[in-house]
């Protein structure tokens, strides 16, 4: 059960109808501290600016810490799918003693930047595996609109293809995890890989119960091992961070003793 907080590093600040919901760093850190205080939360995934502040606050003691890697594909940019390393690199993930690195891999079949991103993701996967460090890949299918801007392709068939591509990256898959959405056809998506999977959350707004129901269904799949949501837990529509985080933790770990 990991909290994702790397959105700001590529300019994603919106939640629901508020375009700047995540912009206030003090609110973000406060919400992260509240979320990390909930029993059953195992760690956080973020860029260095956030992980370092959480470490200074003592919030990472005994927690999993994952560094995000490629944040160069800025939200809404024409080069968005040419997603380069602008945050952590494998060497600094190792030297900082982090538990893993996370890559975003968006698959679209007309943008040449995607080929560079795939090549980079393969090289990073290999380098992290060589150091015995987990590599978490988030493969997502994308399309482009008439203006050339990228948007998520919600077809499960294309997500299955993206999962298959991500599973084959690098010279070793021994340390590879995948981060994917809990789609209605999650059994087919999860069966496209033997890698362990964590489920993302997205921005559900007031439809958070649908997301929770999807997580519960998906956790029945043998290689789905947990959750790594961000805005769905840190910016719930009712403001009850602890409540929704506790719900997510129970889905992953059960009710406990």
| pLDDT at 16 (0 to 100) | 87
pLDDT of the residue at 205: 67
For residue 54 the two structure tokens come to 């959480």
Does 257 have pLDDT greater than 50? no
| Secondary structure element (H or E) that encloses residue 57, with its range | none
For 78-106, b/e burial (b = at least 16 CB within 10 A) is eebbbbebbbbbbeebbeeebbbbbbbbb
Q: Does pLDDT of 153 surpass 90?
A: yes
For residue 236, what is the domain's CATH number?
3.20.20.70
Give the pLDDT mean for 160-175.
98
Name, in order, each residue with C-beta under 8 angstroms of 30's C-beta and a sequence gap of 6 or more: none
Q: What is the pLDDT of residues 130-149, one digit of tens each?
A: 999 999 999 999 999 999 99
The helix (H) or strand (E) run that includes residue 125 is helix 112-130
| DSSP line for 130-186 | HTT-EEEEEEEEEEE-TTS-EEE---HHHHHHHHHHHHT-SS--TTEEEEE---TTH
The pLDDT of residue 256 is 56
Q: What is the DSSP letter of 73?
A: S
- Tally the domains of the chain: 1
pLDDT value at residue 207: 79
163: domain range?
2-253
pLDDT above 70 as % of the chain? 98
- The CA distance from 94 to 116, in Å, is 24
- The CA-CA-CA angle for residues 180, 181, 187, to 5°, reads 90
Closest CA to 214 of 255, 174, 247, 253: 247
Q: Which of 24-33, 209-218, 230-239 has the highest mean pLDDT?
A: 24-33
Q: pLDDT tens, 72-96?
A: 999 999 999 999 999 999 999 999 9
């Amino acid at each position: 059960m990991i909290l994702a907080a790397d959105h700001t590093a590529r300019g994603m600040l919106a939640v629901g109808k508020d375009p700047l919901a995540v912009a206030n760093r003090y609110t973000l850190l406060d919400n992260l501290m509240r979320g990390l205080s909930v029993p059953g939360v195992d760690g956080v995934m973020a860029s260095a600016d956030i992980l370092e502040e959480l470490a200074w606050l003592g919030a990472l003691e005994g927690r999993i810490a994952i560094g995000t890697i490629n944040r160069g594909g800025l939200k809404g940019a024409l080069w968005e799918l040419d997603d380069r390393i602008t945050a952590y690199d494998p060497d600094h993930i190792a030297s900082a003693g982090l538990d893993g690195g996370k890559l975003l891999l968006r698959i679209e079949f007309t943008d040449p930047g995607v080929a560079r991103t795939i090549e980079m993701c393969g090289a990073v996967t290999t380098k992290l595996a060589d150091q015995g460090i987990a590599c978490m890949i988030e493969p997502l299918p994308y399309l482009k609109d008439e203006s050339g801007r990228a948007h998520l392709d919600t077809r499960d068939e294309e997500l299955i293809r993206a999962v298959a591509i991500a599973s084959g990256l690098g010279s070793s898959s021994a340390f590879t995890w995948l981060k994917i959405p809990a789609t209605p056809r999650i059994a087919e998506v999860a069966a496209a890989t033997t890698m362990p999977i964590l489920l993302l959350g997205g921005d559900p707004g007031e439809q958070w119960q649908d997301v929770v129901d999807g997580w519960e269904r998906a956790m029945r799949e043998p290689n789905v091992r947990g959750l790594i949501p961000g805005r769905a837990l840190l910016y719930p529509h009712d403001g009850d961070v602890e409540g929704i985080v506790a719900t997510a933790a129970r889905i992953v770990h059960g009710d406990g003793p």
